Structure 1
Amino acid sequence: MKSLIDTLEEPLGETVANPMETVALNTFGISSLFPWQRLVIANVLDSYNDMQASNGVPTKDCIHNQIVLLPTGAGKSLCFMVPALLLPGPTLILYPLLALMSDQERRMKEGGTPPVVFKGQQTKAERENNFERIKEGAKYILANPEVLQSEELLNRLKDCNISHIAIDEAHCVSEWGDTFRPAYLTLGAIIKKLKVPVVTAFTATASPSVLNRISKVLFDGSAHIVRSESDRPNIRYYVKYACAKQYALLETVLQEKTPLLVFCSSRKRVQGIATFLREYFEMIGKKDFVRWYHAGLSKEEKATTEKWFYPKKEGILVCTCAFGMGVDKKDIHTVIHYDPPTTAEAYIQEAGRGGRDRSVARAILLWSPLDSKKAQQFTKGSRERVLADFAESTTCRRQVLLDALGGEQVACAGCDVCEGTACNYAKDEQHLFNFIIYHRRQYTQTELILQFLKKENRQDIISFGMPIMEKKDVCEILTVLETENKIVRRHYLWANKLDIPLQILFSTFFYHRDLKFFSHPLSLPHFLSAHLPFLSFLKKQLVKLLSVCGESSYIEQHKKQNQDIRKSLQK
């Protein structure tokens, strides 16, 4: 009889390879999956087997519907690409944007597993070719919610024995379903019609209310949630206050590392900002350094821009969320938001385009008084107000975002508040305000704009090689200052001259902490020298007044003396 020691010393035999790890290594070159990836993949494979064993009826422990929250850069694509190669039927993957489909199609082709793509404006021949490829064993089917509105296409897909549906960027169900993408609200009915055994919804960011909405629309309120922490420790968050954002953007771009993304809210803004940046970089000898990307470009233009940006080690891409969501360029070092997104989820999603290679990336939000004013129309505590709370916070910015997503307390890995570098006033506003203090009651608005631009443009040429501040920028700042009652227009002797109200002037002199844009108190000599023209004028008036008063007093005094002399002589 063998002893226990002899048994333990015997060779254990050949180790059985883990199929998901084998596929990840052989097909995608990934030597090891993350724990969250293994969990999600295992849920998909186990749920499919359970559903098959129970004839499509979910058992008590079956996780056939799941919502997966993984931070950007955590490799959520592998969570549906790996099991697709292990399941018998194809996997249907739904994307919100054609840019994402194009990006994923490119990656799958490079990996040797070209997908079948269904999208709008395809010919009948193209559709038939797609179904032939599915019959031949294609494992990936890419589509968007709108193309699945076709009953004919749905009926054909129903016969394709789809094993798994993966819905990428599932927060779009809540973000867009009620507005311009109503097709998202029909996905629950489509899932039921296709009778697919396993469905997984993926997103990088979702607050508790968004999670509930996704669950209700897609799964009738019944879904298993797999949640990883939404925090990306390698992303540093910064806010830059600015009234003239174009000026602040160029200043920021020149300080930050590239490749760099600039997010804007509209196609018109994207093209305007890209043109402005391109002109500057061409002036300093950097050709083809800036391009733009938005949904209004043709298919060929989009493809050209993608091919230009993906391999580029330097360069700036100005874009809308049409490019940002799901883009997989790993070495983006800086993400700048020229316009704030509507929700914290959207901001985290777009900021998460940076640092996907796990290197440190900076996410910078440009924030203006106008942005703050727009945010005030929303109820405090609402999803739409979170980004204003983030921008105007005096506590950790990272924690503000995580709190909005229902996350736990974390030690901040980097934000300007925790680093002690936060500047809660607009420097361009401060410059103009200081200029008005030095020249109060000297200029009308038109005169002030001309004089200030002369001063600023001299400085811009020294700093940037060209004038950056424009008349419209100064007008914007003046509007902000006037709205905040920090400047006034005088009357009478100083008709239409710009001035500082006395209460603001004294609070500036004695340093009132609520005057957020003034960082240091003025010294008395500094204060007096700033007002020499006014004090000189005041002195002249006082001298005149005193001289007149003195002369009158002298005359009256001598009249009295003369009267006294006459009286004495008469006696």
Structure 2
Amino acid sequence: MAENEKVSFDGIGVAEGCADELFDADKAVQAARAGFHVSYLFPWQRIVIANIMDGEAALQADSDFSENHDDDDLYRGRQIVLLPTGAGKSMCFLVPALLLEGATLVIYPLLALMSDQKRRMEQAGIRCVVFKGGQTAEEREENFSALEDKENPARVIIANPEVLCGENLLERLSKVKISHISIDEAHCVSEWGDSFRPSYLELGRVIKTLGVKLITAFTATASKPVLDRIGEILFDGNYHLVRGASDRANIHYAVRYAYAKKKAALELALTMKKPLIIFCGSRRRTEEMAHVCSSYFGREKTRFYHAGLTREEKRAVEEWFFNSTDGILTATCAYGMGVDKSDIASVIHLDAPEHLENFVQEAGRAGRNGANVNSVLIWNHADFVRWRQAEEGSRERALGDFALSKTCRRQMILDYLGGEETVCSGCDICDVNAKNQKISYKAPDAELAFNFIRKNRRLYTRQEATGELTELFNKRNLGIFGINVWDAKDTAEILSQLFSEKKLRICGTFWKDRLDIIKKKKGKNLLALIPRRHLHRLHHLRRNFLQVQERARQLLS
């Protein structure tokens, strides 16, 4: 993070005290009430809005203010806003859009999100235009005509990073008066810019080409490395950080240890409150999990969502889930950004996201209405292997640290994100600690399978054991599901991970192809206790003993 970065926490500090002296916050409330029927702005919303409007005022007095006042707490005009999901980030740039002289350019990561936000803005009476790939010359001209309308100009420009990399459009936009640029879901700059969406790395150049001095980047979750990367690309390392409370106190965090993840998710879905999202790591996994759920709950209760769907299919699923009170949606991360469904009650993370920030983003889709909700991560041995291979202290290791934590999961998230210390309002570890109990980090399905093989050592082949265990699991869970839901694939998944753990082996010779457990050697290796400098004497004594033993055998024969 930049050395001259200034931080505001929950509206407390210099920024809040000075902001009211320069910008009348009541103007923001009046604009919010008139444009969005919002009668109250939170302290962090007031700070962000005040920073933008004060920057506009400073620009009118000094067009080079951002260069002349880089070390000033207030007149920076360049800020990263870190607020939890559902905290009302959109108000922070839409209210100024009604007050600023020029247009506001809002950069979104997804086309579906752009369309959704355009619809919402138009419903609020805000005229806006959308620039995206595939538009005709006539559509582009209509947009510019709307921006240049003298009587009722468009107040908001909606675009994505890719379209802004087009030189012709960028040159044309540079001639439009743009007062403020807002980058939504700014963590994508770091998450995607260095991998499959390099256009995010061009946003710094886009900002300079457009000549806009007021820049605000919004995100719900970002660790220090992510913030540093965002600041480097967008602000040349020089930015102001506004941070709200990082804790979503209404989310209860828990980890479920299971090797057959889909069946664990199905069992959770049976008891967890709906509407419910099951986040999956790939399109294939999304469709497979949807099939498992629809086979049990019925097709009318389950849908899947990923980037491979057509626009019409996505819209149909979004509309179905938005109106559902008891639906189960299996989805990749393609669903979520900016989706405004406030009553999601539960989130299941079938596959461990790459980073802890992604996990927090997924969990944050629930409980936007303030209701108490649940987030459950399913963790297995394959996840453990990936965690073990990650570098100590790296972002890739953080989620495993969370899953294997022996202390409060909520506080671990807050510590990782640089947040505040808090009293836990709900996590599985603190729940069991309050009962003077201990949490088990063992997967019950793996324990059952291992104990079955141990009791039946060298009795079954792998295929035979799969069949026997599948039947055993179905008998065990019949009281839960009422029908047989386990199949051979689930059991095979458990056995594969037990082999990976080196807990099982396939015998040879007389017990050929039979399964057996691998016993752990007990006790210490005595040779390891002997200093290396004395080992040669031990080997010399052993040779002498063998020679004497052989001589004695010859004499006695």
Structure 2-normalised TM-score?
Answer: 0.84
Question: Matched residue of 1:428: which SS?
Answer: helix
Matched, 1:397 2:409: yes
Find the counterpart in structure 2 of residue 322 from structure 1: 334
Find the counterpart in structure 1 of residue 379 from structure 2: 367
Structure 2 distance, partners of 1:53, 1:450, is 78
Deviation at 1:491, TM superposition (A): 4.7
Deviation at 1:164, TM superposition (A): 0.5
Find the counterpart in structure 2 of residue 25 from structure 1: 33
Matched, 1:42 2:50: yes
Deviation at 1:36, TM superposition (A): 0.3
Match of 2:170 among 135, 154, 169: 154
Deviation at 1:462, TM superposition (A): 4.2
Is the contact between residue 346 and residue 375 of structure 2 (CA under 8 Å) also seen in structure 1? yes
Find the counterpart in structure 1 of residue 143 from structure 2: 130
Is the contact between residue 25 and residue 46 of structure 2 (CA under 8 Å) also seen in structure 1? no
Q: Which amino acid aligns with 1:171?
A: H
Match of 2:193 among 177, 182, 187: 177
Is the contact between residue 117 and residue 141 of structure 1 (CA under 8 Å) also seen in structure 2? yes
Find the counterpart in structure 2 of residue 270 from structure 1: 286
Find the counterpart in structure 2 of residue 66 from structure 1: 79
Question: Matched residue of 1:323: which SS?
Answer: coil
Question: Matched residue of 1:163: which SS?
Answer: strand
Question: Matched residue of 2:117: which SS?
Answer: helix
Report which stretch shifted further, 475-484 or 53-62.
Answer: 53-62
Find the counterpart in structure 1 of residue 440 from structure 2: 423
Is there any run of 5+ residues in structure 2 with no aligned partner, and where?
1-23, 433-437, 524-557
Report which stretch shifted further, 181-190 or 152-161.
Answer: 152-161
Question: Matched residue of 2:161: which SS?
Answer: coil
Change (3 A) 1:196 1:482: same
Find the counterpart in structure 2 of residue 115 from structure 1: 128
Match of 1:80 among 93, 99, 103: 93
Question: Matched residue of 2:218: which SS?
Answer: strand
Change (3 A) 1:495 1:298: closer
Is the contact between residue 325 and residue 350 of structure 1 (CA under 8 Å) also seen in structure 2? no
Question: Matched residue of 1:301: which SS?
Answer: helix
Structure 2 distance, partners of 1:298, 1:500, is 49
Structure 2 distance, partners of 1:422, 1:132, is 63
Q: Which amino acid aligns with 1:31?
A: S
Structure 2 distance, partners of 1:423, 1:254, is 22
Find the counterpart in structure 1 of residue 544 from structure 2: none
Structure 1 distance, partners of 2:124, 2:166, is 30
State, as a whole percentage, how many aligned pairs show the same letter: 51
Structure 1 distance, partners of 2:350, 2:471, is 26
Provide, for residues 172-217 of structure 1, a one-character-per-residue CA deviation record: whole Å limited to 9, x for no partner: 1111111111111111111011011311111111111211111111
Matched, 1:240 2:253: no
Aligned counterparts, 1:202-241, within 5 A: 202-241=218-257
Find the counterpart in structure 2 of residue 296 from structure 1: 308
Provide, for residues 119-154 of structure 1, a one-character-per-residue CA deviation record: whole Å limited to 9, x for no partner: 111111111111122223111111110000111111
Match of 1:99 among 83, 100, 112: 112
Find the counterpart in structure 2 of residue 483 from structure 1: 500
Structure 2 distance, partners of 1:20, 1:407, is 28
Is the contact between residue 246 and residue 420 of structure 2 (CA under 8 Å) also seen in structure 1? no
Q: Which amino acid aligns with 1:471?
A: A
Structure 1 distance, partners of 2:265, 2:389, is 26
Structure 1 distance, partners of 2:318, 2:518, is 53
Question: Matched residue of 2:323: which SS?
Answer: coil
Let me know the Cα RMSD of the aligned residues: 1.9
Is the contact between residue 240 and residue 423 of structure 1 (CA under 8 Å) also seen in structure 2? no
Structure 1 distance, partners of 2:97, 2:516, is 69
Report which stretch shifted further, 307-316 or 104-113.
Answer: 104-113
Match of 1:252 among 245, 249, 268: 268
Structure 2 distance, partners of 1:402, 1:17, is 30
Provide, for residues 142-173 of structure 1, a one-character-per-residue CA deviation record: whole Å limited to 9, x for no partner: 11100001111112211220110000111111
Change (3 A) 1:312 1:109: farther
Question: Matched residue of 2:296: which SS?
Answer: helix
Structure 1 distance, partners of 2:215, 2:473, is 58
Report which stretch shifted further, 385-394 or 370-379.
Answer: 370-379
Is the contact between residue 244 and residue 474 of structure 1 (CA under 8 Å) also seen in structure 2? yes
Structure 2 distance, partners of 1:479, 1:496, is 15
Aligned counterparts, 1:410-489, within 5 A: 410-420=422-432, 422-489=439-506
Change (3 A) 1:236 1:17: closer
Aligned length: 487
Report which stretch shifted further, 214-223 or 403-412.
Answer: 403-412
Find the counterpart in structure 1 of residue 540 from structure 2: none
Deviation at 1:96, TM superposition (A): 1.1
Change (3 A) 1:67 1:17: closer
Find the counterpart in structure 2 of residue 334 from structure 1: 346
Find the counterpart in structure 2 of residue 201 from structure 1: 217
Provide, for residues 338-371 of structure 1, a one-character-per-residue CA deviation record: whole Å limited to 9, x for no partner: 1111111111112111111111111111111001
Structure 2 distance, partners of 1:247, 1:439, is 25
Structure 2 distance, partners of 1:225, 1:94, is 19
Report which stretch shifted further, 250-259 or 53-62.
Answer: 53-62
Structure 2 distance, partners of 1:305, 1:474, is 32
Question: Matched residue of 2:293: which SS?
Answer: helix
Change (3 A) 1:225 1:495: same
Is the contact between residue 107 and residue 158 of structure 2 (CA under 8 Å) also seen in structure 1? yes
Deviation at 1:278, TM superposition (A): 1.4
Deviation at 1:78, TM superposition (A): 0.5
Structure 2 distance, partners of 1:404, 1:271, is 32
Structure 1 distance, partners of 2:404, 2:354, is 15
Q: Which amino acid aligns with 1:66?
A: Q
Structure 2 distance, partners of 1:228, 1:169, is 16
Question: Matched residue of 1:238: which SS?
Answer: strand
Find the counterpart in structure 1 of residue 160 from structure 2: 144
Greater Rg over alpha carbons, structure: 1
Question: Matched residue of 1:379: which SS?
Answer: coil
Change (3 A) 1:503 1:189: closer
Deviation at 1:492, TM superposition (A): 5.3
